[in-house]
């Protein structure tokens, strides 16, 4: 019996490692709680707030800046909108749409003038910014708003023209899925001979693949020898708007089809396929990695451990909303008949009892001031990754930026951290 009770050296090492991880987590928790109680912490403004009292619009403006908007164009679009920013959703979002579409239309006219003179690179840059402004305006519209679908199709066309004229390392691809397909953007690793590792990237509740591409993670990964596949999964982007594919809680259903497709490509190392999700993707990604063993690692940019709880809090008007017309939007995304049906669907959207299945490296990142998804959910995700051989919790603080939801206040440092971790994990490079 003594022999049975005696621990092996490996057991003792794992026990010590577990104790160290638990102590690290306690330190992170104490540090974060201390900062949250601090008056100076609460006073600090960490985002560009053009509109004093409209979080949703400020989020949209900041996302546009992160995607590549120019501050002079932001000023021209937003200056007339101060009064509209205080109006109810329907009137306000219509005004927002008009000014942002007007700027995008002007940029397209200027791009056409460049094309007429053979200045294709300049035209591409203008088309790229026009696409940013089109999708920013489209994203704020209510489901079924007049002209929304035409605006989205205009955005897709202008985005494609910008990519083509700029000569960017970005290819539109289609992944077979059911009777239709999932649209994605494929970005090749730079300076890699032979099959390359790849990071699949998926949307949140209200983003689209082109937005994730423009923020820049695929480019930073390419520099590190990692390819990217940025996907409009069911419930987002083209899948939702053009094919009527609504979100499903069991994300491994569509994630497995993505892996199937990647395994057919000669330029992809099928043993080095990772998955990353932002915002609600912080639920979809861990869920898919847990049930699809072919993923070699996982990353969340903003954890989302228990989205059902977030919905209950939002019903009680706790926390920030990402888009206007929020409840109509989530019913559309999830294919719910009414609010009761949506809340029933949301009961499945949590990670409890799932994460112990993950047996590959996993990085959990979160902004310490996230007003949409509280920081404690990132800690919960990390705590439950008990079988990951390399788990890490990275909380972005004021020092490095990226403290807001999805690190939209400063995505450069957050994405660089993720790109380095992925490169180290999938054997890319972190230096030339």
Q: By 3-state DSSP, what share of the chain in percent is helix, strand and coil, each rounded to 5?
A: 55, 15, 35
Contact yes or no for 334/246 (Cβ under 8 A): yes
CATH 1.20.1440.110 domain span(s) along the chain: 54-168
Cross-strand bridge partners of residue 171: 186
Q: Which CATH architecture has domain 24-47+170-432?
A: 3-Layer(aba) Sandwich (3.40)
What DSSP line would sit under 126-154, residue for residue? HHHHHHHHHHHHHHTSPTT-TTHHHHHHH
Q: Which CATH architecture has domain 54-168?
A: Up-down Bundle (1.20)
Tens place of pLDDT per residue across the chain (432 aa): 343 334 444 444 444 445 445 565 565 555 555 544 444 334 444 578 889 889 899 999 999 999 999 999 999 999 999 999 988 777 889 999 999 999 999 999 999 999 999 999 999 999 999 999 999 999 999 999 999 999 999 999 999 999 999 999 999 999 999 999 999 999 999 999 999 999 999 999 999 999 999 999 999 999 999 999 999 999 999 999 999 999 999 999 999 999 999 999 999 999 999 999 999 999 999 999 999 999 999 999 999 999 999 999 998 886 678 888 899 999 999 999 999 999 999 999 999 999 999 999 999 999 999 989 999 999 999 999 999 999 999 999 999 999 999 999 999 999 999 999 999 999 999 999
Name the helix (H) or strand (E) containing 62: helix 55-67
Q: Which two tokens stand for residue 141?
A: 């519209």
> Kind of pairing, strands 180-187 and 227-231?
antiparallel
What DSSP line would sit under 253-264, residue for residue? HHHHHHHHHHTT
Residue 283: phi and psi, rounded to 5, are -95, -50
Name the helix (H) or strand (E) containing 221: helix 217-223
Q: Which two tokens stand for residue 197?
A: 């590792």
The span from the CA of 124 to the CA of 164, in Å, is 7
Can you state the angle between helices 71-78 and 120-139, rounded to 10 degrees? Answer: 40
Half-sphere exposure for 346 (CA within 13 Å, toward CB): 25
CATH 3.40.50.1820 domain span(s) along the chain: 24-47+170-432
Contact yes or no for 185/216 (Cβ under 8 A): no
């Amino acid at each position: 019996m003594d022999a049975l009770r005696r621990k092996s050296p490996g057991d003792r090492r794992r026990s010590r490692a577990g104790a160290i991880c638990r102590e690290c987590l306690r330190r992170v928790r104490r540090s974060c709680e201390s900062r949250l109680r601090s008056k100076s912490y609460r006073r600090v403004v960490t985002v560009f707030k053009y509109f004093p009292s409209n979080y949703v619009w400020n989020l949209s403006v900041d996302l546009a800046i992160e995607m590549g908007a120019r501050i002079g164009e932001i000023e021209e679009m937003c200056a007339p909108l101060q009064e509209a920013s205080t109006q109810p959703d329907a009137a306000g979002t219509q005004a927002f749409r008009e000014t942002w579409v007007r700027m995008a239309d002007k940029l397209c006219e200027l791009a056409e003038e460049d094309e007429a003179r053979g200045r294709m690179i300049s035209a591409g840059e203008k088309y790229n910014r026009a696409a940013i402004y089109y999708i920013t305006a489209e994203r704020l519209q209510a489901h079924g708003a007049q002209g929304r679908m035409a605006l989205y199709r205009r955005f897709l066309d202008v985005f494609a023209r910008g990519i083509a004229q700029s000569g960017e390392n970005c290819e539109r691809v289609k992944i077979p899925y059911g009777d239709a397909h999932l649209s994605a953007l494929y970005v090749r690793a730079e300076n890699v001979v032979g099959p390359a590792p790849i990071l699949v990237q998926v949307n949140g509740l209200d983003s689209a693949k082109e937005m994730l591409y423009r923020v820049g993670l695929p480019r930073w990964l390419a520099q590190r020898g990692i390819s990217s596949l940025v996907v409009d999964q069911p419930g987002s982007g083209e899948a939702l708007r053009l094919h009527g594919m609504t979100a499903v809680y069991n994300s491994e259903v569509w994630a497995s089809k993505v892996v199937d497709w990647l395994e057919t490509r000669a330029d992809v190392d099928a043993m080095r396929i990772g998955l990353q999700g932002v915002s609600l993707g912080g639920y979809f990604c861990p869920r898919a990695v847990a049930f699809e063993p072919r993923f070699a690692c996982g990353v969340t940019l903003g954890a989302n451990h228990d989205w059902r709880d977030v919905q209950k809090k939002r019903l009680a008007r706790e926390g920030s909303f990402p888009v206007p017309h929020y409840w109509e939007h989530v019913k559309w995304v999830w294919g719910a008949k009414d609010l009761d049906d949506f809340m029933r669907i949301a009961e499945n959207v949590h990670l409890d009892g799932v994460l112990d299945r993950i047996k590959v490296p996993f990085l959990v990142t979160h902004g310490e001031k996230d007003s949409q998804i509280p920081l404690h959910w990132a800690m919960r995700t990390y705590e439950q990754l008990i079988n990951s051989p390399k788990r890490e919790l990275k909380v972005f603080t004021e020092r490095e930026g990226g403290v807001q939801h999805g690190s939209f206040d400063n995505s450069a440092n957050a994405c660089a951290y993720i790109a380095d971790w992925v490169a180290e994990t999938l054997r890319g490079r972190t230096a030339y």
